[in-house]
Structure 1
Amino acid sequence: MLVFDRGSVARHRARAARDLARHDFLFAEIAERLVDRVEDVNRTFALALDLGCHDGGLGRRLRAAGRIGDLVSADLAPAMARLAGGKALAADEEWLPFADHAFDLIVSSASLHWVNDLPGTLIQIRDALKPDGFFVASMIGGGTLTELRQAFLAAEARIEGAASLHVSPFVDLRDAAGLMQRAGFAMPVVDLETITVTYGDAFALMRDLRGMGEQNALAARRRRPLQRETILALAEEYRDRFGLDDGRIPATFEIVTLSGWAPGPDQPVPKRRGSATHRLADALGTDEITP
């Protein structure tokens, strides 16, 4: 299914590349957390791929951490790839132009949530990893911008008598775990973190979303501009429903992080069911109760 208009995603990113440094705080925070995940692995990686690299912030942090050798950066928007510098190219996450078993490490920060065929992309990523290669990615999760979503629906219904989608659907934790298993990753781990940012008003939030290239790119999005009255009602609904005591408004970002390994011959595997030689109750020092 074509949920997202990939051409719009590319255009949004190209425009955001002009002034990304003023709006990249969320990307920077996610990148810092991803580097921590890579540093948790007691290994160095000779060749890494930063998929959906934006301006290369994640790649620069990985180099500074000293955990990678060479780095390839790829982004859907050529303007973003140019900002990353080094060995950079424009590439579509849905059609990876890399040979099988090319990379020791693939990382992706705040990019894969715009992919239509996420299962297919994850399979391509697994194939592009060398045996026992590591993959870790953070993407925007299902509860992101729940405040903006609710305010939009209420404002449009009140002013125009109907509502349309303005905030994209994002993957949730359970779906992400299933996708990693379906893609064939070994030892997959999926977890969720929440980042809450406060703004002076809804207009400041929407300026940041545009500045990051994260505005609405749904294929079935509303094409005609919003009425001025609807936009004003949006800001009012947002403040009335979610306003804080200090007069600011919160914006919730859920970050789903996926990690896993390309299958390799030396990886640990679970033993055959029923092959245990010791009782768990003995190890825990408890009595086993049989129903």
Structure 2
Amino acid sequence: MSQMEIFDRRAVAAHRTRAAPRLAKVRPVLDELAFRVLDRLDDTGRRFRLALDIGGRGAVAPLLNARGIEVVTCDISPALAHGTASVAGDPEFLPFGPARFDLIVAHMSLHWVNDLPGALIQLRQALTPEGLFIGSLPLLGTLSELRSALIEAEEVLTGGAAPRVSPFPTLADCAGLMQRAGFALPIAEREEVDLEYAEPFALLRDLRDAGETNALSARSRRIPPRALFPMALATIAGSAGRLRINLPIAVLSGWGS
């Protein structure tokens, strides 16, 4: 296995396929995040004709269509590549020629990519010379409490811990990647989203229903101890049993060159 294979891309596709019929359960969160990201289009003063939606899970394309933009959707899961113009494809091996789109949106879909620098370069190349790229992905700190709680609980139960939460980049990492990919006028901004759950297991259900469960190549294939998740979640829930989660997101933008 290559050192670059941090994520099992087949597992990513399988998780998103499994989530396809359940996305309605997390639609409000997906739509709110997409609205926040795409609100930046108003600041450009530009009219876009043809957009590529990478992995938007049905939240991005309707917002772009409402602006009069024709949209091609692309997802690693064929079950999520649907619409009048859609392609099942992997952003690590983008199935489009150069200078194809004047807008590309990769919303919350690049954090499971092994070769993120390479994917960003391919996305830039698919832009017209004056096209715009907008992307978003979780930042370092996402699910940090859950990560720590799972490690501690699993060490108590089994004497060791398997990786269960993905590594995430810093905002500085994202800014550097945009520059490295060759975007003109690259910007990396931080967006904060606060979520609250009436009971802790609702967080795990939302992650499953959004297709965001563990796809690390180094993940354990064994069934976890039955007590693992209840023990871990109990340590991070509040006194009333409610769970508050902060989701820091990087919103990236840059122009073709």
Bigger mean CA offset, 11-20 vs 154-163: 154-163
Rounded Cα–Cα distance in structure 1 between residues aligned with 2:197 and 2:152: 20
Larger Cα Rg: Structure 1 or Structure 2? 1
C-alpha separation in 2, matches of 1:45 and 1:231: 46
Unmatched segments (≥5 aa) in structure 1: 264-291
Q: Quote how far apart the aligned CAs of 1:124 are.
A: 0.4
Q: Which amino acid aligns with 1:77?
A: S
Q: Match for 1:57 among 51, 56, 59?
A: 59
Q: TM-score, normalised by structure 1?
A: 0.84
* Alpha-carbon distance in structure 2 between the residues aligned to 1:185 and 1:115: 19
Write the distance in 1 (CA, Å) between the matches of 2:59 and 2:231: 37
What is the number of equivalent residue pairs in this alignment?
254
- Give ranges in structure 2 of 5+ residues lacking alignment: none
Per-residue CA deviation, residues 167-186 of structure 1 (Å, 9 max, x unaligned), is 10112101000000000001
Distance 1:77 1:48 in 2: 19
Deviation at 1:247, TM superposition (A): 3.4
Alignment of 1:17 onto 2:23: no
Which residue pairs with 1:43 in the alignment?
46
Letter in 1 for 2:12: V
Partner of residue 230, structure 2: 232
Deviation at 1:24, TM superposition (A): 2.7
Q: Partners of 2:61 and 2:230 in 1: how far apart?
A: 40
How many percent of aligned residue pairs carry the same amino acid?
48
Q: Counterparts of 2:209 and 2:107 in 1: how far apart (Å)?
A: 17
Q: Secondary structure at the match of 1:258?
A: strand
CA RMSD of aligned residues (A): 1.2
8 A Cα contact 2:200 2:242, kept in partner: no
Structure 1 segments (4+ residues) deviating >3 Å:
none
Quick one: distance in 2 between partners of 1:168 and 1:34? Answer: 22
Q: What is residue 284 of structure 1 aligned with on the other side? A: none
Deviation by residue 1:149-204 (Cα, 9 ceiling, x = unmatched): 11111111122121221110112101000000000001000011121211133311
Aligned equivalents of 1:53, 1:74: Cα separation in 2: 8
Structure-to-structure mapping, 1:47-196, within 5 angstroms: 47-54=50-57, 56-66=58-68, 68=69, 70-82=70-82, 85-196=83-194
- Structure 2 residue identity aligned to 1:51: I
How many Å apart are 1:246 and its aligned residue? 4.4
Would you say the 8 A contact 1:148–1:251 is kept in 2? no
Q: Deviations over 1:88-139 (max 9, x none)?
A: 1101010001110111010111101111000000000111001111101111
Counterpart residue number, 1:249: 243
